[in-house]
A = this chain, B = another copy of it.
Amino acid sequence: MTNPTACLLIIGNEVLSGRTRDANLQFIAQGLGEIGIPLREVRVIPDVPETIIATVNEVRAKYDHVFTTGGIGPTHDDITSECVAKAFGVPWEPHPEAWERLAAHYRKLDPPGDYNAARQRMGTMPRGATLIDNAISIAPGFTIGNVHVMAGVPRIMQAMFATLAPRLAGGPKILSHTVHARGAQEGAIAAELAAVQAHYPALDIGSYPYYRPEGGGVALVAKGTDAAEVASAGAMMLALLGTAGREGEPE
- Known contacts: A25-B44, A191-B118. The answer to whether A77 contacts B20 by CB under 8 A is no
Contact of A208 among B14, B43, B209 (CB under 8 A): B14
Cβ contact within 8 Å between A194 and B17: no
Known: A15-B25, A20-B208. A186 touches B38 (CB 8 A): no
Q: Are B118 and A187 in contact (CB under 8 A)?
A: yes
Separation in Å of the A157 CB from the closest CB of chain B? 12
Instruction: Please determine whether B14 and A73 come into contact, CB atoms closer than 8 angstroms.
Output: no
Interface of A is mostly: mixed
A231 to chain B, nearest CB (A): 18
Residue A108 interfacial (CB < 8 Å): no
CA of A117 to CA of B190 in the docked complex: distance in angstroms? 9
- In the bound complex, do residue A191 and residue B42 qualify as a contact, i.e. CB atoms below 8 Å apart? no
With an 8 Å Cβ cutoff, the count of chain A residues facing the other chain is 61
> If the complex has contacts A42-B43, A211-B155, are A193 and B76 also in contact, measured as CB distance less than 8 A?
yes
User: Given contacts A42-B43, A76-B190, A187-B74, is CB(A223)–CB(B17) below 8 Å?
Assistant: yes
Contact flags A73-86 to B (C-beta < 8 A → 1, else 0) = 11111000000000
Assess whether A132 is interfacial by the CB under 8 Å rule: no
CB contact between A73 and one of B29, B117, B209 (< 8 Å): that residue:
B209
Contact across chains for A73 and B188 when beta carbons are under 8 A apart: no
A38 touches B16 (CB 8 A): yes
Q: Does A26 interact with chain B (Cβ within 8 Å)? A: yes
Q: Once the chains are docked, how many angstroms separate the CA of A212 from the CA of B180?
A: 38
Residues of B within 8 A of A118 (CB): 186-187, 190-191, 194
Chain B residues in 8 Å Cβ range of A114: 188
* Choice from B13, B31, B44 contacting A42 with Cβ under 8 Å: B44
Q: A13-B204, A42-B42, A73-B186 are in contact. List 13 more A-B contacts (CB 8 A).
A: A15-B25, A16-B29, A16-B41, A17-B39, A17-B176, A17-B223, A18-B31, A40-B46, A74-B187, A76-B197, A119-B187, A153-B211, A155-B211
Interface residues of A (CB under 8 A from B): 10, 13-22, 25-31, 33, 38-46, 73-77, 113-114, 116-119, 122, 153, 155, 174, 176, 186-188, 190-191, 193-194, 197, 204-209, 211, 221, 223
Per CB-CB distance, the 6 closest pairs between chain A and chain B, nearest first, are A18-B29, A118-B190, A18-B30, A42-B44, A76-B194, A119-B187
